[in-house]
Amino acid sequence: MNGKPRAERGELAVVLAGEAGQGVQAVESLLSEAFRQEGYYVFSGQEFMSRIRGGSNSSLLRVSGRPVRAWSDRTDICVAFDEKAVRHLAKRLQPETYVLGDGVPVGEGWRSIDIPLRKLAKDAGESLFVNTISAGILWGILSGRRETIAGVIRRFFSGKKPQVVDSNLAAAEIGMKLGQELKRSGQVSLELPPLGDRRGRLSINGTEAVSLGAIAGGCNFVSAYPMSPSTGVLVFLAKHGRDFGIIVEQAEDEISAANMVLGAWYAGARGMTTTSGGGFDLMTEAVSLSGMTETPMVVHLAQRPGPATGLPTRTEQGDLNLALYGGHGEFPRVLLAPGNLEQAYALAREAFHLADAFQVPVILLTDQYLMDSRYDVDDLPLPAAPAEAAIVQTGPEYGRYAITESGVSPRGIPGWGEGLVGVDSDEHDESGHITEDLDLRVRMVDKRLRKLSLVAEKALSAEWIGPEEAPNVVVCWGTALEIAREAVAGLGRRDLAVLHFRQVFPLPEEMRRRLEQADCRILLEGNATGQFGELLRQCWGIDWQHRILKYNGLMFSIEEVRAGLRKILPGEEVE
């Protein structure tokens, strides 16, 4: 681990920790916006327990003059709202870390500074002022401009009574004076990093990126049953449904939600459901129904650790096999896995196009880490025109399941044209009527499966990052992208690259030979069994020299990936 202060390396890492209900997220929101107002790039991420109150939760803010997009274990300064939080964070505190808070234990290998936050808040008139005072302390230590934090506080509390705004401004001032004194006395010595030459135009998180991508894809119907970490998408689209003409339905369960989406597509809408692993379990019969009736379907599957309830507020890449094999019978499907917020937007939009064009279920795999991460992006391109549905006006002789060379039959909707749009979950003939003709059964199965070859030809490319001829490659998928990118870049090796897959099924064939030719293939996955590595072995015969796996409920950090690679590939690194 580089021992240089973060500011010297163009970065500052701030960690906020405490119980649920103590205002950790409020401080995060205030400081994130203040740093952005000053012109910095900010990455914020969260790890939290499954508690409404209590427990130990933390938020990370990485502040830099350059883009920052990945989780780090480094902590330059930490504000702990209780002693429990310090114990919770012990592995992320370094000897140079400043730890501020009430009753912070001393002599534990970091720089402890006891600050009576609760007394300060009580003296300010309200215990809830702990969070605003904490934000002020940090802003004062970093010599932030008063007008910046004051403007952020006014906007944050704009819906409250004027006295609430004034009280929080006063609380922030108390904190700033204390922070400035800590700096003047030499107890804390930290500086903001130098500003870069530009900053991202948009600050969004994964929930917003997926939701906006769905809107850009023409989504006009959403049905779901709440299940973290996917619920934010349902809430976002419900909040903005009237703005974008979206019908949002909270169903009684996931079975109903998935089947309502199929009904919406059958009627001509563009529907999506959003869920997590346990909810997707209940949806698999509907996924199979989508395969048989060739009705488009978009499922957002935000992963969390299982089995069963598992760790409902944590993260994992453990549901790849569930998404790949869920649903009885053989039928084509598409699995997309965004690696960052831009891809979350683009692939959510693309999911609707693929489902519509090929009449298959498309599953968008995210996870808690991506959904709760927020950082700056340059832009999210708007569609040039509204999404056009791949439907036809039916004639008198229309057959919903006409056997075609491509396997894609013309899709009509009831009421547009003279034809009857018949669908059935039983095996059927070209008109959609139930059949027991076994030869026709074979032709229908072959027709449906032909679409898989067609989808494979259109598979989204994987991304090779690093030296073109690098003999060693880190292979990852989904949300490991930015962590792997930064970890490998920090090693500065000319013999190491990253290969990231944003489409995990069907696989993009153009990367097969390149992966086969690598001398050392290193699998990086957030699960216990290396599910994507096994898929590559099954499909392409790829074997692995090394695997770096994590499945404790937390996402990889840059530092642990870098440390793992140093063990695997010893040798001199280039600064």
Sign of the C-alpha dihedral, residues 280, 286, 292, 298?
negative
How high is the pLDDT of residue 20? 79
How high is the pLDDT of residue 107? 63
| Local confidence band at 123 (pLDDT 50, 70, 90 cut-offs) | confident
Model confidence at 71: pLDDT above 60: yes
Inter-helix orientation angle 130-141/162-184, to 10°: 40
Question: What are 413-467's pLDDT values in tens digits?
Answer: 999 999 999 999 999 999 999 999 999 999 999 999 999 999 999 999 999 999 9
Q: 523 with 544: CB under 8 angstroms?
A: yes
Q: Which amino acid is at 514?
A: R
Residue 473: C-alpha distances to residues 242, 469, 541, 554, 568 (Å): 47, 10, 16, 23, 12
**C-beta atoms surrounding 79 within 10 Å:** 27
Question: Worst-scoring range by mean pLDDT, 72-86, 251-265, 511-525?
Answer: 72-86
Phi, psi of 239 (to 5 degrees): -65, -35
Mean pLDDT of the chain: 93
Residue 435: C-alpha distances to residues 150, 429, 432, 444, 516 (Å): 71, 6, 9, 11, 45
Could you tell me the two tokens for 180? Answer: 């400035």
Domain positions in the chain: 6-184, 203-377, 463-568
**C-beta atoms surrounding 270 within 10 Å:** 22
Model confidence at 378: pLDDT above 50: yes
* Element spanning 524, H or E: strand 520-525
CA distance 105 to 143: 26
Q: 387 with 270: CB under 8 angstroms?
A: yes
Question: Worst-scoring range by mean pLDDT, 123-127, 155-159, 269-273?
Answer: 123-127
Q: Does domain 463-568 have CATH number 1.10.3720.10?
A: no
Model confidence at 298: pLDDT above 70: yes
Tell the residue number behind the tokens 């409902």, with chain if given: 312
CA distance 102 to 482: 35
Question: Worst-scoring range by mean pLDDT, 71-75, 116-120, 513-517?
Answer: 116-120
How high is the pLDDT of residue 200? 62
Pick left, alpha or beta for residue 311 (phi over 0 → left; psi -120 to 50 → alpha; otherwise beta).
beta
Q: Percent of the chain scored above 70 by pLDDT?
A: 97
Model confidence at 360: pLDDT above 80: yes
Look at residues 470, 486, 479 and name the one whose alpha carbon lies nearest to residue 522.
470
Q: What would the mean pLDDT of 34-51 be, rounded to a whole number? A: 91
How high is the pLDDT of residue 367? 98
Q: Percent of the chain scored above 90 by pLDDT?
A: 84
Question: What are 83-121's pLDDT values in tens digits?
Answer: 888 888 888 999 999 999 987 876 678 899 999 988 998
Higher pLDDT, 502 or 573: 502
* Element spanning 503, H or E: strand 503-505
| Local confidence band at 1 (pLDDT 50, 70, 90 cut-offs) | very low
pTM to 2 decimals?
0.95
Q: What would the mean pLDDT of 389-405 be, rounded to a whole number? A: 96
How high is the pLDDT of residue 392? 97
Could you tell me the two tokens for 236? Answer: 């976002």
Model confidence at 350: pLDDT above 90: yes
How high is the pLDDT of residue 2? 44
Q: Which amino acid is at 31?
A: L
Residue 332: C-alpha distances to residues 219, 323, 359 (Å): 22, 12, 9
What's the chain's Rg over C-alpha atoms?
Answer: 26
Tell me the CATH class for 6-184.
alpha beta
Q: What would the mean pLDDT of 524-551 be, rounded to a whole number? A: 98
Cis peptide before 307 (omega within 30 of 0): yes
How high is the pLDDT of residue 105? 76
How high is the pLDDT of residue 572? 61
Q: What would the mean pLDDT of 48-56 be, rounded to a whole number? A: 78
**Within 13 A of 337's CA, how many CA atoms are on the CB side?**
29
Indicate if 463-568 has the same CATH topology as 203-377: yes
| Local confidence band at 3 (pLDDT 50, 70, 90 cut-offs) | very low
- DSSP characters over 260-315: HHHHHHHTT--EEEEE-HHHHHHHHHHHHHHHHHT--EEEEEEE---STT--TTS-
Look at residues 171, 187, 228, 237 and name the one whose alpha carbon lies nearest to residue 210.
237
Could you tell me the two tokens for 331? Answer: 């039928």
Q: 43 with 68: CB under 8 angstroms?
A: yes
| Local confidence band at 375 (pLDDT 50, 70, 90 cut-offs) | very high
| Local confidence band at 82 (pLDDT 50, 70, 90 cut-offs) | confident
- DSSP characters over 181-237: HHHHTTS----PPPP-S---SEEEEHHHHHHHHHHHTT--EEEE---TTSHHHHHHH
Model confidence at 340: pLDDT above 70: yes
Question: What are 202-211's pLDDT values in tens digits?
Answer: 999 999 999 9
Model confidence at 507: pLDDT above 70: yes
Q: What would the mean pLDDT of 27-51 be, rounded to a whole number? A: 92
How high is the pLDDT of residue 140? 96
Q: Does domain 203-377 have CATH number 2.160.10.10?
A: no
